[in-house]
Chains A and B, each alone.
Chain A
C-alpha cells in the first residue's frame, strides 16, 4: 500500500471523528504504519454535515489532505452527495443502508449495512458508528482486524468496551456474510 485515502462523513453526533480516530490509531499505533487524520473544522454542530479524512501510508504521510479517497464511509445522504464526486473511479462506498441510497459509477463498488438498526438491536443506538467500523474493517481489509480491535478498546470510554466490541463484531459479521453472498461462485438467489 503506497497511500490510501479515506473519507468518513455523516451528521454531527454520529461519531464520524471516533471512527476516523480508531482507523488512524489502528494503522499508526497498532499496525506500526503512518496515518494522518484531519477532521473538518467548520460551523458544524449536532445534526449538520461533518467529515474527517485519513491519509494512510507505509511511510511518513507527506501530504496530509485527502483529494481522491479510495474509500468513502457515508452515514448520511447529505454527506454522500457532498463527497461522492471526489471518490476514485475504482473507489468503494461503505454506507448506512437505511439513510443513504448511493448511486455509484459502474467501476465503483458500494456496500450497505443497516448499522443504526443493528445498533438499536444491541440496545444502544449510540454504537451505530462502531457497527459501521466493524463493517468497514471487514469490507475494506485495509487494516489488520486485531489492530482495529486494539485501537477500539483504547478509544472508547472505560466501562463501554464490551458493548463496543459486540457492536464491532456485529458489523464485521454482517460484512463477511455480505461478501460471501457476493463472492464468485456463491449460490445465486
Chain B
C-alpha cells in the first residue's frame, strides 16, 4: 500500500536505485538501519562529524558508499557538515548529515539556511541525554522542541521519530521523500536506544521502494524563476550547472532569489515557508492509534518511549482502565486537529517522554483545557519504568 503522504502528494514515485538497496532480512541496529534507509532512498552524499551515539550511521555509510557510488566526507565540525549538505543538495544529489545533541545545536544556523533556501536535506539526530555533553552513550528525547524551533525566525519543518530499527530504515526513506516534496530540512529524531538496539530489519527489493525524485522544472531558462511557487506553495528546482540563471541566499529574497529588503517580500516569503508545511500538514501528519474510541485516557508518545508506554498501558488495562494510545510517527507538524478532537471526548492525555515536558506542551496547547494533560517526565539516561506510566494513567483516569 502506498504511504499516505505519497498518495496525497500526487507525485509519481520511482523505484529505488538497486545499488543502494541491501534487500533481505537482516539483524541490524537502528543506526545501521538508518544508514541503509538513506542509501536505499538514493542518498549519495553524506557529510558529518562523528558523535556518539550516531557514529555507527556514518560508519555504515562510509563502508558501503564506495560500492553504492556515494561520497562521504568527514568534516571539521557540524557547522561545516550542515553547510556541505545544503550545498551538495543543489547539485541534485540527495544529501544527509548525522549527529547527536551537541552537534545538532551547532547545525541550527545552517538548518535555518536550508529552510530559507528551500533545500531538501535530511538531518539525523540520534538523541542522547543532555543538556550540553550530558550522557553521550545514553538515551534522551530532549531535542524535540529544538527540532521545531531551533533555528531563529519562522519556518516550517518536518520531523519523524522511529520506534525500532525497522522504522529507522523505513522512516529514513520517508524523510528523503518528504524533503523532496516540500523542499525543507527533514529531521529524523531518533534516540540512542533505538539507534543502539539490534533487531530484525527487512529491506525490500528496490522495485518495492518508492522514491520521490528531485522535482526539476520543465520550464525554459527564460521562464523559470527559482522561488516562484504555484498553489502547492513549493517551487520547482533546478540543478546548479543546468544552464538556468540562478541565485539563492539566506537573505529575504524575491521570486528570482535576489535579496529584497522589504516588509512585503518578507511577508510573502516567510508566510509561504510557514504555509507550505501548515497547509499541507494533513498530508504529512502520521499517527498510529489504538483503542482511542471510548477511551478515558489517551497516552501520547513517540520513539522508544512508545514501546515502553505500551507495557504501562497494558498494565493499566488489566486494572480496568480504558486507555487508548496515539503514537507520533511524524512529530512535526503536530497532529493538532486530532488532539483537539480527542480532547472533547477523553478525560486526560498522559504524555511520557524522556525530557521534562516538550511534546506534552503541544498536547496541552491543543487540549486547551478540555482535557487534562499529564506529563510523565524522565531526565534521560534510561527509559521509563512502565509501572510509573501505569500509575500516571490510573491517576488520570480517576
Looking at the complex, which of B73-81, B91-99, B307-315 is the stretch in contact with chain A? Answer: B307-315
Separation of A151 and B27 alpha carbons in the complex (Å): 10
Contact, CB under 8 Å: B307 / A62: yes
CB distance from A152 to the nearest CB of B (A): 12
B198 surroundings in chain A (CB, below 8 A): 21, 24, 36-39
Partner of A63 from the list B27, B52, B200, B386 (CB cut-off 8 Å) is B386
- The range of chain B's interface size is 20 to 34
Q: A28-B27, A34-B199, A38-B196 are in contact. Are A64 and B137 (CB under 8 A)?
A: no
- Check A35–B307 contact: CB distance below 8 A: no
| Chain A residues with CB under 8 A of B386 | 62-63
Task: Kindly state the separation between the CA atoms of A128 and B161 in the bound complex, as whole angstroms.
Answer: 40
B184 at the interface (CB under 8 A from A): no
With A24-B27, A28-B27, A63-B311 as contacts: A42 and B137 at CB distance below 8 Å: yes
By the criterion CB–CB under 8 Å, are B199 and A35 in contact? yes
- Please provide the chain A residues from 29 to 75 with a CB less than 8 Å away from any CB of chain B in the complex: 29, 34-39, 41-42, 60-65
Distance in Å: Cβ of B309 to nearest Cβ of chain A: 9
B197 interface residue (CB < 8 Å to A): yes
Tell me, in angstroms, the Cα distance from A38 to B31 when the chains sit together.
12
Which of the residues A34, A41, A42, A62 comes within 8 Å of B200, measured between beta carbons? A34
Contacts of A172 in B (CB 8 A): none
Q: Which residue of B lies closest to A25 (CB)?
A: B27
Most buried by A among B196, B199, B304, B307: B199
Taking CB atoms, residues of chain A closer than 8 Å to B25 are: 29
A62 to B308: give the CA distance in the assembly, Å: 6
In the complex where A21-B27, A34-B199, A37-B197 touch, is A62 in contact with B53 (Cβ < 8 A)? no
The answer to whether A62 and B310 touch across the interface, beta carbons within 8 angstroms, is yes
Chain A, range 63-115, C-beta contacts under 8 Å to B: 63-65
Once the chains bind, are B196 and A39 in contact (CB under 8 Å)? yes
Contacts of B137 in A (CB 8 A): 41-42
Contact A41 B197 (CB under 8 A): no
Shortest CB-to-CB span from B7 to chain A, Å, is 27
B351 within 8 A of A: no
The answer to whether the Cβ of B193 comes within 8 Å of any Cβ in the partner chain is: yes
Provided the pairs A62-B310, A62-B311, A63-B311 are in contact, do residues A36 and B383 lie with their beta carbons within 8 angstroms? no
- Which residues does chain B contribute within 8 Å of A65, judged by CB atoms? 382-383
Per the bound structure, the CA–CA distance linking A65 and B307 in Å amounts to 12
Which of B27, B52, B304 is within 8 Å of A64, CB to CB?
B304
Category for how many chain A residues contact B: 20 to 34
CA distance A63 to B26 in the complex (A): 21
- Contact A41–B383 (Cβ < 8 Å): no
A28-B196 in contact given A41-B137, A63-B307, A64-B304 (Cβ < 8 Å): no
- Contact mask for chain B residues 170-199; partner A; CB cutoff 8 A; 1 contact, 0 none: 000000000000000000000001001111
Q: Which residues 8-39 in A have Cβ within 8 Å of B in the complex?
A: 21, 24-25, 28-29, 34-39
List the A residue with the shortest CB-CB distance to B25.
A29
Query: Across the interface, do A64 and B193 meet the contact criterion of CB distance under 8 Å?
Result: yes
| Residue ID in chain A nearest B310 by CB atoms | A62
CB distance from A133 to the nearest CB of B (A): 15
Q: B200 — which chain A residues lie within 8 A by C-beta?
A: 28-29, 34-35
Q: Judging by beta carbons under 8 Å apart, are A36 and B197 in contact?
A: yes
| In the bound complex, CA of A113 to CA of B175 (Å) | 49
Q: Is the CB of B310 within 8 A of A36?
A: no
Chain B proximity of A122: nearest CB distance (Å)? 26
Residues of A contacting B304 in the complex (Cβ-Cβ under 8 angstroms): 64
Set of chain B residues within 8 Å of A25, measured between Cβ atoms: 27
Q: Is the CB of A64 within 8 A of B53?
A: no
Question: For the complex, what is the distance from the CA of A21 to the CA of B193, rounded to whole Å?
Answer: 16
Q: Can you list, as one digit per residue, whether each of B295-322 has a CB less than 8 Å from chain A (1) or not (0)?
A: 0000000001001101100000000000
Question: Which of A21, A36, A65 has the largest number of chain B CB atoms within 10 A?
Answer: A36
CB neighbours of B382 from chain A (8 A): 65
| CA–CA, A60 and B198, complex, Å | 13
Residues of B within 8 A of A42 (CB): 137
Knowing A21-B198, A34-B200, say if A64 contacts B307 (CB, 8 Å).
yes
| New contact pairs (17) apart from A34-B199, A61-B307, CB-CB < 8 Å | A21-B27, A24-B199, A25-B27, A29-B25, A29-B26, A34-B200, A35-B199, A35-B200, A37-B27, A39-B196, A39-B198, A41-B52, A42-B137, A60-B307, A62-B307, A63-B383, A65-B382
What are some 28 contacts across the A-B interface (CB < 8 A)? Answer: A21-B198, A24-B198, A24-B199, A28-B27, A28-B200, A29-B25, A34-B199, A35-B200, A36-B198, A37-B27, A37-B198, A37-B199, A38-B193, A38-B196, A38-B197, A38-B198, A39-B196, A41-B196, A61-B199, A61-B307, A62-B308, A62-B386, A64-B193, A64-B197, A64-B304, A64-B307, A64-B383, A151-B27
Q: What residues make up the interface of A, taking CB atoms closer than 8 Å to B?
A: 21, 24-25, 28-29, 34-39, 41-42, 60-65, 151
